Amino acid sequence: MIPVIIIQGPTAVGKSALALKLAEELNSEIISADSRQVYKLLNIGTAKPSQEEQEKIKHHLIDIVYPNQEYSAGDFAKDALQIIKHLNKQKKMPIIVGGTGFYIKSLVEGIFDAPQIPPEIRVNLKQTAIEKGSEFLYKRLKKIDPESAERIDPNDLNRISRALEVYEATGKTITQHWQQQPSGKKIIQAFNIFISDDRNALYERINKRVDSILEKGLLQEMNKLLKMGYGENDPGMNTVGYKELFPFFSKEKKLEDCIEEIKKHTRNYAKRQFTWFRKIDFDLTLEVNRITFLNVLEKILEFYKIYSDWSWNDHCQGK
């Protein structure tokens, strides 16, 4: 098995800071497990690592598709595993960091074989979405598959429709498909770290981050995307921080109202992440304001003494 470090936690909690420090100390590289940072051109609103950070430590699976392209959890699992194997050959310890829990689950546990969706099912769902909106479809999904609905944004029409398509095509929910998939042979062994924070403190940090990305030029970035022809129906534009701005640019809402929507939707996303993470057994749980870096290194060393045939010096080669 290939040993990896995984760092998870809610949005804005400070995962990237720990990942960067570990990557530098261990002479390694970072694999982003963020379903929004895969999109090119969406830089400010997705809080991507800075150019300086990316030059200092190599980051993978950032800026790999355009906003009008699909990128799934299955794509991530396949791409990430290829990178992990490559780093393993170089005796580098991959550090996977991100808040998209479903991406990480797909990598660690595998992906079930997606069924073929009859075209008429897809057409009917699209028509229902046009006539009744995403809220109507989300309520349907909550009745059919509450566990799946729990991890999906109520406004994420693409993922809502996908979950309903699978159910209508097979008679089984996506959750059931996951539960019934063959276990297979594990390829990676993860040391799974969770970074948390007091809920109110995190929400305040989220609000400040939104203010910060606006100061950095989010409106200008959004305006550029619109001029390039990207719109509400593009998968990448269905991203918190961008989708809330469409009413402002179409002069349907005031900017301050759209900003409040961004903050609210980001807080809601963090709340769903907390719900998801409660179901996971982590090897190490850290409070963001009480992280002792040397203790984290010691825990990782203990873990890899068991699961790796490399020496600690191999990991830290060149340090």
Q: Once rounded to an integer, what is the mean pLDDT over residues 29-49?
A: 97
Closest CA to 273 of 158, 176, 150: 150
Is the model's pLDDT at 151 over the cut of 80? no
Distance of alpha carbon 70 from the chain centroid: 14
* 304 against 194, higher pLDDT: 194
Q: Once rounded to an integer, what is the mean pLDDT over residues 109-113?
A: 73
Q: Once rounded to an integer, what is the mean pLDDT over residues 234-255?
A: 97
DSSP labels, 31-71:
EE--TTTTBTT--TTTTPPPHHHHHHS-EESSS-B-TTS--
Distance in angstroms (rounded) separating the CA atoms of residues 44 and 25: 27
Least confident of 42-46, 59-63, 217-221, 302-306: 302-306
Distance in angstroms (rounded) separating the CA atoms of residues 177 and 101: 17
Q: What domains are defined for the chain?
A: 2-111+182-315 (3.40.50.300), 119-180 (1.10.20.140)
Q: Give the model's pLDDT for residue 117.
A: 87
Q: Give the model's pLDDT for residue 179.
A: 73
Tokens 């190490």, residue? 284
Is the model's pLDDT at 185 over the cut of 80? no
DSSP helix, strand, coil percent of the chain (3-state; round to 5):
55, 10, 35
Distance in angstroms (rounded) separating the CA atoms of residues 267 and 257: 15
